[in-house]
Structure 1
C-alpha cells in the first residue's frame, strides 16, 4: 500500500489531483474555524450544543464540528444532499425529469442545475430556521443581524457545494462525500478520546475491560462495514453473437454486480432528518406544555425513537434501492444489446428474477444498516458503556469507510490504467 502511494505521487497528473483534493479539504477545515458574525452569547451557545446525546450530534458530525462552533460552514452540505434527494425522487414521478435523466451528459447537466437551485433555496430556508431557532443564544438581535446570519450561512453552504464540485472535477473521488469524510475524520480524535474517557471512568477493573471491549467492538464494526460495503452478488450475463455486415460482434460473458448495501447511508440520513422534527419543535415550547412532553418522547435514546429509527432505516433502504436500481430497465437494456442470464428468459422473466435477488440481498443490507445505526444507542444500556457518545458511531463509520474505499478504488483505477500495481492487489 505504501508503495502504491509513493507511485501515485510520482505520476504528475495523479499527484496534481491528490494535491488539489488535499488543498481544497484544507480550505474546508479553515472555514469551520471562521465564526458567523452576530451578537452571540457564547455561554448560551455552549449550553445549547453541549452534551453527548444532543439533537445536533449527527449534524455537527457531518459538518466536522462547524455547527458546535457556529462557523460559516455550520450547515455543511446538508442543503445540497437534501436537494439531490428531492430531485432524484421527483425524477421518478415527473416524466419531463425522467426524460432528461435519460438524455446523457446534457440531461444530467440540466438536472444538476436544478439541484443547485434547490440547494440555494433550501440553504435560505434552513439558515432562516437556524437563525430564528438560535435567537435565545443572541444578545438583543435586530432584523439586520438575522439577515446577516442567514446570508452568511447560505453563502457558506453554497460555497461548499461549489468546493465539492471542484474536487470532483479536478481532484480524486466524489467532492461532496470527501467534504463529509473530512469532517468526520476531523472529529475522530476528540470523539474517540471522549468515548474512551467515558467508558474508562468506572473504576480500575471495569475501566480496562470497558476500553478493551470498546476497541474490539470498534474493530469489528469497521470490518463489518468494509465487508458489507464491498459485498455484492454477481449475476452471470451472456451476450449472444451478432453478425453486422461481414463482422461478428459479441459472444462474450460478463456479470452484473448487485451490491448488498445498494442504498449506502441515505436511509440513515432520511430517518435522522424525519425524527429530528419533533425534538426541534419541542425546543420552542415551554417544558410544562403537554405538547412538549409528547414531542420529547421522540428524543434520541428514547424507546419510541429507537423503534421508529430502526423501522424508518429498514423501510427507506428498500425504498432507495428501488430508486437507484430498476430491474425492468436493466432487463430491457440487456435484451436490447443481446444479453441474457443463463437459464432465464429475456424480458419480463429476467426482470422478475433480478427483483427477487435484489429483494433478498437488500434484506441483509437493511438489517446491517439498522443494527450499525442503533448500536451506539443500545450500548448505553450496557453497564460500563452508559453515557457513551452516539455522535461518533455506526453512521460515521459507514460514511468514512465507504468514502475511503471509493477513493482508493479511483486511485487504484488510475494506477492500473498506467500499468502500475495498486492498493487492492
Structure 2
C-alpha cells in the first residue's frame, strides 16, 4: 500500500523434482546379433529359398548392413548385463531420470488515481515441464512435455458525475502444450549412422519394431504443439436515471489457435518386422525383411492456424415500476465468425456433386466454406410479489451454418 492509492501484490510458487529409478529392458543377446538363433524354438527360414537355416544360424555375411551397424554399436545399444531365465526378457538393467519443473506466479497493481478514476493491471504465468533426462540405453529415446501459460489484463473504471460509470477491460491469454521427442544422449542422426535410407527431420532413430520380447529402440516421435491465443476487449457503461438502471456494452474476442501434429506415424516413423518372411521377427530384422514402414509429416514452423472472431453487443434496462416490481429488459446481439485457416488450408465436400471444395482468398464463405444464416428469438418471463421481480428479454443472433452438409471435413489439403 502506497499513500492509500496504490496497492501492489505478488506471489510465486515453484518446485524442482528429480526422480531417478532403476528400470529393466530387454536387449538382443550377443548370439542373436551374429545370427545365432539356435536358442529360438521357431524355425528360421531363408526367405530366398524357403528352406530352414541349418541350426537356426544365419550366415554373418547375410546380415544387412543397417542391422549389423545397429546391433554392433554396443555404446548405444548395449549387451545384456543380467542373467535371466531364457536369456532375453528383462536381461538389462539401467537407470531412468524423470525431471519435473513447475513455476507459477501473479503480479497485480491497483491505482486509485482519483475518486473518479481507478485502474488495475494483472499478469499471471505458469510453467510446467516434465522430461526424461535418462533412459536405460541411448537408443531408448525420451520425450518432453512443456505447458507454458501467460495471462495479462488491464481494467479502467471511470465515474462521470453521480449517475454514469464506465468500465473498460483489455485482456490477453496464451496457452501452449508441447510434446517433443528427445535425443537425450546425443546420438544424432542414427538413421544415417546405420545406413537407414530416407533421412530424418530430427535427431534420434526411427522406431525398430522387432517383437521377440525385445525393448523397441528409437521412437516414432508423434510430436505435437498446440498454441491458443485469445485477445479480449470488454466495454460496459452504466447509467442510473430515476427508476431506470441502463447498461450498454459489448465484447470482442479474437481467437488464434495454432496446431502442429506429426501424425500417427511420427516425425521419425517406424520399421516393422513381424516374422512373416523368416518365421521370427528378429531374424526378419537381421535380413532386412520389412513388413511395414511409415513416417508422418508436417512442419512445426508452418503450423495449421485457425482464426475466429466473436463480437457481441447488449443493452439492458432494470426498470423499477414500483417497490415490489422490477422489469429486467434486455437485448443482445452476438456474431461468431466461421473458422478460417490462416493460409486457406482447409476443405469441404459437396454431397450433391461429390466434389471437394477448397478454401480460397475472398470473403468468409470462400475461406470458411460456410453460408451465414440469421436467426432471431425472444423470451419473456415475470413474476409478481415482494420482493420478487418480473423480467423480459429479447435476443437476436447471427450464426454460421454449413454451406453444404459435409460427409467429412478435412483440416488440411
Structure 1-normalised TM-score? 0.26
Q: Which has the larger radius of gyration?
A: 2
Q: Which has the higher helix share?
A: 1
